[in-house]
Amino acid sequence: MSPTIFRERGYRFFFFSREESRMHVHVNCADGEAKYWLEPHIELANNFRLSANQLSDIKQIIEVHCDEFKSAWQGHFPD
């Protein structure tokens, strides 16, 4: 299961239900996908085919909505 948390500018932000416990968010679009750590700070973990400009846009979106992603993570993974 990978619930969608948020959509903006053609990007879908989501979690995988059975994955590592370190807080992070996945994002995909027509061009590729990436994974960003949310803690201890926002940091790119993996990138598959996204440009530097796209990664910059994505990071900016995550920075603006980080509290929402963290809250959604805590709601989805209550442990």
Q: Which domain holds residue 45?
A: 4-76
- Please report the pLDDT score of residue 16 as a whole number: 87
What is the tens place of the pLDDT at every residue in 1-50? 688 999 999 999 999 877 888 999 999 999 999 999 999 999 999 999 99
Q: Average of pLDDT values for 48-75? A: 97
- Please report the pLDDT score of residue 1 as a whole number: 64
The answer to whether 69 and 11 have CB atoms below 8 angstroms apart is no
> Looking at the 3D structure of the chain, how many domains does it have?
1
| Residue 79 pLDDT > 80 | no
* Residue 76: pLDDT band with limits 50, 70, 90: confident
Burial class (CB in 10 A: 0-12, 13-18, 19+), 27: buried
- Please report the pLDDT score of residue 17 as a whole number: 79
Burial class (CB in 10 A: 0-12, 13-18, 19+), 56: exposed
